[in-house]
Structure 1
Amino acid sequence: MSAHDPYVHGHHESVVRSHARRTVEDSAAYLIPHLSRGMRVLDVGSGPGTITVDLARRVHPGLVRGIDVEPMMAERATGLAESQGIENVEFDTGSGYEIDSPDDTFDLVHAHQVLQHVSDPSRVMAEMLRVVKPGGLVAVRDAIYSGTVWYPDSEGLDSWRSTYLSAARYAHGDPDIGRRLRAIALHAGATIVASSASVWCYSAEDERESWGSAWAERATDSHFAVMAVESGAAQADDLHSMSRAWRKWARDESGWFAIPHGEVIARKEAAPAPTAQ
């Protein structure tokens, strides 16, 4: 993404705290069979760095680079890597629109929950393909927010979902882009290796507490609240009602929440050899 694309979530502590729980296993399991020691990897939109650092562990002694448009995130991710003694990873400020790397640099380029936030996802996909080596892989996973479901029924969460969809589109993103990843990769000229789907599910007490309390804060205090009001999708009272609904859901031992994701692994084919004249 670019600094010119409004980030609907923003970087409120409740957002970063939620993102910092992510690992390869829970957010990129589809990619695990394709990881191997010694790979050179780029993670686009690396955020707080937990997935990136996990990738570095798995491909060691290969080198991993994470880029994010927000300098604060690159600094935080660097601190995480240092605190865990992971030395084969580095973090920089950078945009998926203009990756500061030569053509054919990486064995794998990865992006998680990034393309939903950019106004021109095809351009970002093309840039990811540019910097991956011929025969290398581009792996992308993203959400389908209109497919979110939960129990028990809640008018407050119904309102949250419709408001989120409106706010994300107002920010020039596509909250359902997970369903389009295969099409975007094909349009960019990639060969599809695999396309799949997976689900985040929150139901255990600690999962409900983490997800529900985070969204209770985000509903009123994060950049989502700003986008919701600016877009006309909600007013302050509506946001507070959503927050209360999230806290009520989190306390309910029967509470269950799921959000589907689309996934694609695409290959950059080698250029054909020149024909002898």
Structure 2
Amino acid sequence: MSNDAYSASMLQTYSVRTAANTSAYFIPHIKPNMKILDIGCGPGSITLDLAALVPRGTIVGIDLNETAINSAKELIQKRNVDNATFEVANVLNLPYEDETFDIVCAHQVLIHLPNESSKIGAVEGLKEMRRVCKTGGIICARECDWRSAVVHPSIPGVLDGMKLIEDLTALKRTSPYGGMARFWAEKSGFISADIDTSASVVYYSSPGEVKWWGETMAQRLEQGSSLDTGVKEGLISEEQKATLPSGWRTWSAQSDAFFSMTDVQLICKK
């Protein structure tokens, strides 16, 4: 993930991620003695779930954000895990030798990597992931595609908030479009026969899920820099700074509220 400061709501959101709800697509490939690298590990909940699947192996979780890494280290103590470590590192410049890991995985990371001049961030990230993966190993990534979002009902503040987030990704020169995963993989050096893509839908529909997601989105807007940057860049008005978070809260109170987004799942064999 980015090295920008994580808001409390972002850390809370990432903490509910588990291997079961994020990594089921590559779990069948895991063997007990493997060495795994988890990129963009956040507060470590996925990483430590995966650690339990390699009792005779090890897993390393990395993230650019020191706050997240500190949270992950605390989680190690809470869960009493002895085969996992966490450190601050950048996927674009991994501090590991070639052919080090059996599996290199990432969750919602490639979409955050900036495109610089002629270089595509996601492609450069996959090149580094490929470099540190052993021959015969696999590189895995699960990335959302912002174009797939379904939001009902169409409350203005929510829709404006969705558009703001997409507009901000353009300013950061990132590509929040997981549907490009196969394209990224081919550009990073994998041949078509060694690339497998699939998809999974994340959705919130029950009253509890909707309330949690709406409040989470409202707090992420309030606690982060999106609103201020949006005003500064002329993407939203000063008045909208208040209406966007409140829109999510209004949405979460609707009995028919529904949100979904498609995640594209990528497995590349080296």
TM-score band w.r.t. shorter chain: over 0.9
Structure 2 equivalent of residue 87 of structure 1:
82
Q: Secondary structure at the match of 1:200?
A: strand
2:152 equivalent in structure 1: 151
Q: Secondary structure at the match of 1:22?
A: coil
* 1:247 alignment partner AA: R
Whole-Å Cα distance in 2 between the matches of residues 69 and 44 of structure 1? 9
1:189 aligns with 2:183: no
1:132 aligned residue: 133
Partner AA of 1:255 in structure 2: A
Residue number in structure 2 paired with 1:206: 208
Counterpart for residue 253 of structure 1: 255
Indicate the larger mover: 62-71 or 184-193.
184-193
Equivalent residue, structure 2, for 1:171: 172
**Aligned-partner Cα distance in 1 for 2:267–2:81:** 26
Letter in 1 for 2:244: M
Q: Out of 73, 97, 103, which is 1:108 matched to?
A: 103
Decide whether aligned partners of structure 1 residues 229 and 58 sit closer, same or farther in structure 2, where only a CA change above 3 A counts.
Answer: farther
Which residue pairs with 2:117 in the alignment? none
- In the TM superposition, structure 1's runs of 4+ consecutive aligned residues that sit over 3 Å from their partners are none
Name the counterpart of 1:52. Answer: 47
Partner of 1:244: 246
Matching residue of 2:8: 13
- Could you tell me which residue of structure 1 aligns to residue 73 of structure 2? 78
**Cα distance between partner residues in 2 of 1:44 and 1:55:** 13
Shift of residue 226, structure 1, vs aligned partner: 3.5
Residue 59 of structure 1: SS of its match in structure 2? coil
Q: Distance in 1 between matches of 2:30 and 2:238?
A: 45
The Cα shift of 1:225 comes to 2.4
Task: Report the secondary structure of 1:87's partner residue.
Answer: coil
**Unmatched runs of 5 consecutive residues or more in structure 1:** 269-277
Summarize deviations over 1:119-163 as a string: whole Å, max 9, x none: 122111100000000010000011111221122222222111111
Q: Mapping of 1:208-223 within 5 angstroms?
A: 208-223=210-225
CA shift digits 1:183-221 (9 cap, x unpaired):
111111124342011111011122112211011111222
| Larger CA deviation: 94-103 vs 21-30 | 21-30
Contact 1:219/1:240 (<8 A) preserved? no
Q: State the shift of 1:247 in Å.
A: 0.7
Of 83-92 and 191-200, more deviation after overlay is shown by 191-200
Q: How far did 1:2 drift?
A: 6.6
Q: Distance in 2 between matches of 1:13 and 1:235?
A: 25
Q: Which AA in structure 2 matches 1:223?
A: S
Q: Describe the SS at the equivalent of 2:21.
A: helix
Identity of counterpart residues, as a percentage?
Answer: 29
Alpha carbons 2:2, 2:65 under 8 Å: kept: no
Query: Deviation at 1:223?
Result: 2.6
| TM-score, scaled to structure 2 | 0.92
Q: Could you tell me how far apart the structure 1 residues matched to 2:95 and 2:145 are?
A: 30
Q: How does 1:219-230 map to 2 (within 5 A)?
A: 219-230=221-232
Which of the numbers 27, 52, 55 marks the counterpart of 1:32? 27
